[in-house]
Amino acid sequence: MGKLRRVYARCPVCDNVFPTLSAGSYVTIGREPDLCPKFPGRASDGSRLLQSGVTMCPACSFASQGEFSGLDLTFDEQYDLRERLEDDGLLRVFREHPPPWLAFHAAEVCGQELGAEARELGDLCLRASWVCRKEKEQPFESTFQLRAVRYFMRALEEGSLYGREFPVTAYLVGELNRRLGHHREALNWYVNAERALKEAPERGLAWLERLISQQSKLAREQAA
Ligand SMILES: [Zn+2]
């Protein structure tokens, strides 16, 4: 099991200094087909490790991956973020008693405001869906999967993905669609991922080839 260290973070929006947990190195025992890492021990411990990848300021809800180090924001960015975070509907409802996925949502909002790449925003939503699954928050798991699909599709359309990112992202769009019950969509995207894999022959992607054939077989059975 990984160790969580207590560190202090300074919020780049409101200057609040607060303690937070940071994950050191940790052991995984493989991945689920949507690439969610499996950890030894209880699901709740795995969830805490995943949650430690994102930090949220308890005062203003600013959030990002990591522990805010190296984040330098202009006055205008701070102002816009403050407005955006105050107006956000989910943050308004859940800020008092934050559920385990809230920091990911806040990081998504802040990432949008700061012009983060679609692939990065999709990645945040995917991680949030893993946390929801480990915490058995099913409706929110689906919400985040759907958002991840939208960001990943945008990233694929923009042509901003290089090397292995392209086939891996196409595969994830397939796998998330399958999990959402959209089996036809899923099958189309597994085919796209297979094609992308052939066009960009990289070393060390045999695992992806295996996953694509295994999961498209599953989607075909589920679609029947
Ligand atoms: Zn703050």
57-84 tens-digit pLDDT: 999 999 999 889 888 999 999 999 999 9
Name the average pLDDT for the chain. 93
Distance 121 CA to ligand 1 centre (A): 20
Percent of the chain with pLDDT strictly greater than 90: 80
Identity of the amino acid at 153: M
Q: What is the pLDDT of residue 224?
A: 86
Q: What is the pLDDT of residue 113?
A: 96
Distance 99 CA to ligand 1 centre (A): 18
Domain that holds residue 26: 4-117
Distance 59 CA to ligand 1 centre (A): 5
Distance 111 CA to ligand 1 centre (A): 15
Residue 24 has pLDDT above 80, yes or no: no
Burial class from Cβ neighbours inside 10 Å (0-12, 13-18, 19+) for residue 38 reads: exposed
Tokens of 87: 């107006």
Distance 146 CA to ligand 1 centre (A): 28
Using CA atoms, how far apart are residues 130 and 34, in angstroms rounded to an integer?
A: 9
Distance 148 CA to ligand 1 centre (A): 26
Task: Evaluate whether residue 35 is within a structural domain.
Answer: yes
Residue 202 has pLDDT above 80, yes or no: no
pTM: 0.94
Using CA atoms, how far apart are residues 215 and 211, in angstroms rounded to an integer?
A: 6
Task: Evaluate whether residue 149 is within a structural domain.
Answer: no
User: Which residues fall within 8 angstroms of residue 188, CB to CB, at 6 or more apart?
Assistant: 174
Distance 95 CA to ligand 1 centre (A): 13
Instruction: Quick: pLDDT tens for 120-156.
Output: 999 999 999 999 999 999 999 999 999 999 999 999 9
Percent of the chain with pLDDT strictly greater than 70: 98
Distance 63 CA to ligand 1 centre (A): 8
Using CA atoms, how far apart are residues 19 and 50, in angstroms rounded to an integer?
A: 17
**Dihedral angle at the C-alpha atoms of 153, 156, 161, 162, nearest 10 degrees?**
130
Distance 123 CA to ligand 1 centre (A): 23
Using CA atoms, how far apart are residues 169 and 149, in angstroms rounded to an integer?
A: 9
Task: Evaluate whether residue 196 is within a structural domain.
Answer: no
Distance 52 CA to ligand 1 centre (A): 17
Count of domains in the chain? 1
Distance 26 CA to ligand 1 centre (A): 28
Task: Evaluate whether residue 214 is within a structural domain.
Answer: no
Residue 205 has pLDDT above 60, yes or no: yes
Tokens of 205: 């992607």
How confident is residue 201, by pLDDT bands cut at 50, 70 and 90? low
How confident is residue 43, by pLDDT bands cut at 50, 70 and 90? confident
Task: Evaluate whether residue 135 is within a structural domain.
Answer: no
Distance 127 CA to ligand 1 centre (A): 22
User: Which residues fall within 8 angstroms of residue 199, CB to CB, at 6 or more apart?
Assistant: none
Task: Evaluate whether residue 151 is within a structural domain.
Answer: no
Task: Evaluate whether residue 217 is within a structural domain.
Answer: no
Task: Evaluate whether residue 172 is within a structural domain.
Answer: no
Instruction: Quick: pLDDT tens for 147-199.
Output: 999 999 999 999 888 888 999 999 999 999 999 999 999 999 999 999 999 88
Distance 174 CA to ligand 1 centre (A): 37
